[in-house]
Chains A and B, each alone.
Chain A
């Protein structure tokens, strides 16, 4: 049969489908993962996808040319526009997208469409087309984004989500590092230099996971969420995106607070049970849950409206705020401010501490004190315009108030600063401090707290209204 332009196209496209490479697909499935196309199919709403570059990158022999090695789509997730892309690790380690992503990034920037990027792979290939004689030709270029400065440009303007479900090194890891929200599956890895490079440079022979494992990053703050599988990662990405729309109607909390004041934090669940009693049932989506655990950060809904929730966990080391907890707080405040999520800050902390590795054992101890990591949080609050509601439910020692809520004056003054009657102000309780010195906007009972929050949130424009009022990005979300 004669080859027509149409049959040629059809044949080229067919070669790109998983059905054309059963061996590679079986290998991916055996390792417990999804193929690049399966990932996107699981992510996007059915029948919404438009593919970009479907036949690009196949050379005359049907092989992928360098630089490519991935699939790109625009579609919808929960009816919202999303740009979705996945590297294809089975294809010569995946191309990190120097040639693919820049157009998608430009579209994301123009239309303010969130990006979901699956980024596993080993970085740029040995013969990167931009590299002439060993040099990267940077001079004089102007116009399109590379994925690096493109990601920097998107930060704080459109939500960027990276999913790492395999070894991700160098350029791939960089994309993850730039993203607002990094999801990684157990057993995956994110690092600047992959095992071959580490072997060449340091003589260490390590698996990707030993070298820069997701489990390690989960504890040390390198990722935002650790999940079990590709499917869980996709679910988490969808869930994260869902917070970018308010629900028309909210749900009641799982539990309500009784008249009893939760006195001290003797139970591990202490702060989380208080959170559950204030927000809509099942709506707390914790970010960086295993890192700097004396403060918990996450997205939640109150009466259907998305909020950023920030709370001290006084069960752990009396809620002390070390350098890590402070930067976790600062970055979270930047994130909420960028995307217009009002912040609810629940205060119960002995205060700021600095960490020191003592002696030869290297055991970390903490002591009261401040650092520049702590003042980062003050800077973040000072430059937010999104409102904050604070509730002091216990202590607020050593600058924790400033770190959690910003200055109580002028520019960053909370929309409302509440206290429960047992809040402590030095040696004075919240009730007396307010009655005698007007220290808080009001002292309230736990049981009336949610209602106050709901009523205040009702006074505010919705997050999407707020976002539409902003014509240029306020600031980036710091990568750390």
Chain B
């Protein structure tokens, strides 16, 4: 065969792949036009008897998203059910290598059935623990905490595909997709929504278009561009979100949206640990991570094990990405009671404390209403030896105590309360004393002990923190500090 014919075959083979493959179109739709440089387009398994095993079921390469580079890959369910082979895992390993070397974000579209069963080579160690050169899982653990890794689950992802998802920083999954395991006789998979309810999946997207949009916003946080931002619509009305009546609940998400740049908020893990809100956002164009208590939740903002785990992981993630943290505090402390203790509260509670202690990024805290017991520490750390919040702010509505003021009043006045003739009288005794303590800890009194750096009006929050943020340019650690704990 002469060189010309060889070239024709290559071109024909590449052309045959164009337009026919969903995986490639996913990559195309996320990346800038014409920016995708594919690796291993001609790679096939050794057993390519049907002659259409394009790319061996994994499309990968480097691409630009809004002019910024990413290493990207997508499994193709059309080819051997998107299964993993020696060859396509080597392709993926090459992407991981490039991401690691150049500090490019790593993005992967996932769908497939784990290892290819009829693969003539020894099955990879993701099936059996044997010595091999399969280094995808190792590579992903290596990327963790160094570059952002994002998986987008677009369909049913089993075994080796699930392993990849759960090793990435952020799992975006489309509605209707699932993650689980498959073998010759049985499929055991769960819907991504069900998995999001236990914190395995971070974001549920309506469809691939929505998933790609989410992925792009995450990338724009990593590659921040500080010049463009818009004031949030509700900025001037932020104080009206929190009702003056302290017993009335409110949605902390509204506070976040009125604080962060317009349309910049990207909540992760919204379906679990609901007493804690974790969201990426931008402030004056700068990327930040927000942890916030959610008074409008089943546990009224009390931090349970799930909320502690969720916050701790998010803090580690922001620390790795060099995103300053902003903490909105309004919680009655850690969750108490037999159910919470059985969830291991005594151990889980320490995780956000440890994560805050070990962080390198600055922290700005804003206490809105209450912080009882260890609640303020969970949200802003102890910070006496290593870090204090760069700015510790409170609104005038703030109140603090070792435990809920009503609870403390109940304990102090227990004898009188039990002697009361009517339940109403008992409540009044309790509330009167609680009110006394509340007055002592709110408004101007909160500033008098230098417990806070300043007491500010709600609408001052955004510009005050932004000014500080502008003075402290983002510091991305120049070497990997630690991996991001998967959970």
The distance in angstroms between the C-alpha atoms of A354 and B166, with both chains bound, is 13
Report yes or no: A440 in contact with B130, Cβ–Cβ below 8 A: yes
Report yes or no: A134 in contact with B441, Cβ–Cβ below 8 A: yes
B429 at the interface (CB under 8 A from A): no
Q: Take A378-B141, A407-B137, A425-B130 as given contacts and tell me if A141 and B350 are in contact as well, using a CB distance cutoff of 8 Å.
A: no
A153 / chain B contacts, CB cutoff of 8 Å: 357, 385-386
What 1/0 flags go to B121-165 for Cβ under 8 Å of A? 011011111111111011001101000000000000001001100
A187 at the interface (CB under 8 A from B): no
Q: Take A128-B402, A149-B385 as given contacts and tell me if A216 and B342 are in contact as well, using a CB distance cutoff of 8 Å.
A: yes
B485 at the interface (CB under 8 A from A): yes
Rounded to whole Å, the gap between the CB of A183 and the closest CB of chain B is 14
Rounded to whole Å, the gap between the CB of A95 and the closest CB of chain B is 13
What 1/0 flags go to A327-354 for Cβ under 8 Å of B? 1000000000000000000010000001
What 1/0 flags go to B444-484 for Cβ under 8 Å of A? 01101111110000000000000000000000000000110
A185 at the interface (CB under 8 A from B): no
Of the four ranges (under 10, 10 to 19, 20 to 34, 35 or more), the interface on chain A belongs to 35 or more
- Considering only residues 372-413 of chain B, those with a C-beta below 8 Å from chain A are 373-374, 376-377, 380-386, 388-389, 392, 399-404, 406-408, 410-412
B183 at the interface (CB under 8 A from A): yes
Given contacts A148-B382, A201-B337, A354-B190, list 8 more A-B pairs with CB under 8 A. Answer: A133-B440, A135-B451, A138-B392, A174-B374, A200-B403, A217-B346, A370-B166, A399-B126
The distance in angstroms between the C-alpha atoms of A210 and B338, with both chains bound, is 8
| Option from A124, A132, A220 in Cβ contact (under 8 Å) with B342 | A220
Which A residue sits closest to B117, measured CB to CB? A426
A381 / chain B contacts, CB cutoff of 8 Å: 141
Rounded to whole Å, the gap between the CB of A105 and the closest CB of chain B is 9
A249 / chain B contacts, CB cutoff of 8 Å: none
What 1/0 flags go to B323-365 for Cβ under 8 Å of A? 0000000001111111011101111111101100110000000
Report yes or no: B336 in contact with A378, Cβ–Cβ below 8 A: no
Report yes or no: A369 in contact with B181, Cβ–Cβ below 8 A: yes
Report yes or no: A197 in contact with B451, Cβ–Cβ below 8 A: no
The distance in angstroms between the C-alpha atoms of A405 and B402, with both chains bound, is 44
- Name the 3 nearest CB pairs between A and B, nearest first: A401-B129, A193-B336, A134-B441
Spell out B's residues near A (CB within 8 Å): 122-123, 125-135, 137-138, 141-142, 144, 159, 162-163, 166-167, 179-181, 183, 186, 188-190, 198-200, 309, 332-338, 340-342, 344-351, 353-354, 357-358, 373-374, 376-377, 380-386, 388-389, 392, 399-404, 406-408, 410-412, 437, 440-441, 445-446, 448-453, 482-483, 485-487
Total A-B residue pairs with C-beta atoms closer than 8 Å?
A: 324
Rounded to whole Å, the gap between the CB of A176 and the closest CB of chain B is 6
| Option from A137, A140, A198, A212 in Cβ contact (under 8 Å) with B346 | A212
The distance in angstroms between the C-alpha atoms of A404 and B412, with both chains bound, is 52
The distance in angstroms between the C-alpha atoms of A325 and B13, with both chains bound, is 48
A sample of 11 inter-chain contacts (CB < 8 A) reads A139-B452, A149-B385, A153-B385, A193-B333, A202-B336, A211-B341, A220-B342, A369-B190, A425-B128, A433-B130, A438-B131
Pick from B129, B380, B449 the residue with the most CB of A within 10 Å.
B129
Report yes or no: B131 in contact with A441, Cβ–Cβ below 8 A: yes
A150 at the interface (CB under 8 A from B): yes
Report yes or no: A379 in contact with B485, Cβ–Cβ below 8 A: yes
Report yes or no: B400 in contact with A135, Cβ–Cβ below 8 A: yes
Report yes or no: A375 in contact with B138, Cβ–Cβ below 8 A: no
Rounded to whole Å, the gap between the CB of A479 and the closest CB of chain B is 4
The distance in angstroms between the C-alpha atoms of A478 and B486, with both chains bound, is 12
A437 at the interface (CB under 8 A from B): yes
Report yes or no: A408 in contact with B132, Cβ–Cβ below 8 A: yes
The distance in angstroms between the C-alpha atoms of A478 and B129, with both chains bound, is 26
Q: Take A135-B449, A153-B385 as given contacts and tell me if A378 and B167 are in contact as well, using a CB distance cutoff of 8 Å.
A: yes
A370 / chain B contacts, CB cutoff of 8 Å: 159, 162-163, 166, 179, 181
A243 at the interface (CB under 8 A from B): no
Report yes or no: B138 in contact with A410, Cβ–Cβ below 8 A: yes
